[in-house]
Amino acid sequence: MAEEFKYSCNTASETLEWIHAIINFIAPYRYFIDAHVVNFFKDRLWEAVDKEWMDCLQKESVENLLRIPSGVVQDHWPGSLKDFILTLRSLCLSREQADFQEFSGMHIASLSNVLAQGMNHKKKHEVEVLSALVSLVAKQVGARTIVDVGAGQGYLAQVLAFDYQLSVIAIDACSHHGKITDARAERIRKHYAAKMRKNCSEPRELSVPKTVTCRVLSTDTLKALSNSLIEKDHAGNQHMGNRSSVSQPSRFAEDIPHSRSCSDSTLVIAGLHACGDLSVTMLRTFLECDKAKAVISVGCCYNLLSEEAICEADSCCGFPVSQGVKSAGVILAKSARDLACQSADRWRGLGENAGLHNFELHAFRAAFQIVLIVKFLFRHYPSILLESPTIGRQGKALRRQQNQRILESNLHHGGSSESGEPRESVAFLHEYSSIQSSNSESNAVDRCSLFAKFCESGLGRLHLPHLADTAYSAIWRESESYAELIGPYWSLRAALGPVLETLILLDRLLLLQEYGSDLEASLLPIFNPVLSPRNMAIIARKIRK
């Protein structure tokens, strides 16, 4: 059975075997991977899927559809469908958060209010865990300097500096982020200084992150930046100002800046959700920089990765990065990289109403594509069609507006359901979401009306005139009979997302493993996957000889 397959990635050969298993399995399902779901109705995408699967899932509950990306099957499903889902599950990395009690010397401490200020629950969870892990790894490799790549507003950098007393350099491409980091760090410094004075404790020098504004894209730029920072240290300047952004793509230089207050010149490269190619840049830098003794990289935004097929021959793309995957000739393309960002855990956590909302909004967007291409742009605005227009999340905005009006109406008239939700809100959610509900005339009218508002909002974003209401109604009625297939199709396609993410992550791990026996590397799920879907960290250390 599919669930009996087990894979590991302790060695390069094991990782490559796992990668080839994924490549071979997904090959027949490119019709899912390469699909643009906005073309669901226009291209009749459901016809490419096994009819027995669609007939079965068309009758399935929303709850069971939402569990498909997590690898959950039902006994009464066709054997081929169960094998498809269970095999996908066997090919995925485990996302259950690691048990850090097994890590000797690692203690995850709750952040103080002053350090946690401005963080949401997700960010606080991530920073607490990652800062403890970075501190542990730094201690293991004997480094005192941390380079925080893609530092954003400096949350991780400030915890590493103030709580763990590490020398931290926070690099981000956005000068605004650098200013926020500096201002926030100064407030925190004043807080700790005042606390020491109040407690009459012996004053000590507080470690404050140094901020650098620079796109990590050019070796020459990083060398020049490094020299500049060292000169400032010689001049006794303990605070590094922002630098102008650089626009050429590239890697870190070997001369990554480090603090003179540190007893050695070794460093650890860390990144919390460094975007797209930046996560790969961190790994390449770790391999090429003698001073870098360890790297902890939590990536995200696979949709922004560059690919070998669309890059110049001498450039360093974001996928594939390992020789093993390059030799296999794998190309994902943007649709597949978008799909790799799907979160099975968040799918599973959706309630029935939220799941139905998503399915209907996808149906609206797919029907709107017919408005754009068949009824509008192709005939009257072909130039806009060539620009691949995007309308943003109009459906979600529309839904929020509708819910707000109902809530305001309920507050005016009073009354609530047993669950604590306003009765009108509950009724509206069911009516709005239920694609599979009864085909009563009133429901059909309501859906037509909502679809018309969706289209008007989308056309407004494109600065195009509206059509007559009858045109919207006709398109929706033409599409509506197939709308109940959106849920099964979207769920099956989303089940491929965790496997594609696994392929991307294994490719990065293999890059490190191909380096040889001079380092050890591993993949570890360090965050709660429900809170933080991109929870896999690549951790690598150079082995001392």
Residue 387: the pLDDT is 59
CA distance 351 to 67: 11
Residue 223 is assigned to a structural domain of this protein: yes
Residue 418 is assigned to a structural domain of this protein: no
Residue 315: the pLDDT is 59
**Exposed e or buried b per residue across 62-76, where buried means at least 16 C-beta atoms within 10 angstroms of its C-beta:** beebbbbbbbbbeee
Residue 516 is assigned to a structural domain of this protein: yes
Residue 155 is assigned to a structural domain of this protein: yes
Residue with tokens 């050019």: 218
Residue 302 is assigned to a structural domain of this protein: yes
Ranges of residues in the chain whose predicted pLDDT is under 70: 1-5, 201-204, 214, 216-264, 309-315, 374-445, 545
From 498, 361, 484, select the one nearest 72 (Cα to Cα): 498
Residue 361 is assigned to a structural domain of this protein: no
Q: Write down the pTM of the prediction.
A: 0.82
Residue 456 is assigned to a structural domain of this protein: no
- Number of folded domains that form the chain: 1
Q: What CATH number is attached to the domain comprising 336?
A: 3.40.50.150
Angle formed by the axes of helices 469-480 and 441-461, nearest 10°: 120
pLDDT in tens, 141-171: 999 889 999 888 889 999 999 899 999 988 8
Domain boundaries, position 501: 100-232+265-340+495-542
Residue 216: the pLDDT is 63
Would you call 274 helix, strand, or coil by DSSP?
A: strand
Residue 379: the pLDDT is 61
Is the CB of residue 135 less than 8 Å from the CB of residue 223?
no
Residue 439: the pLDDT is 42
CA distance 493 to 506: 21
Residue 426 is assigned to a structural domain of this protein: no
> What pairs with residue 295 in β-bridges?
269, 540
CA distance 272 to 146: 13
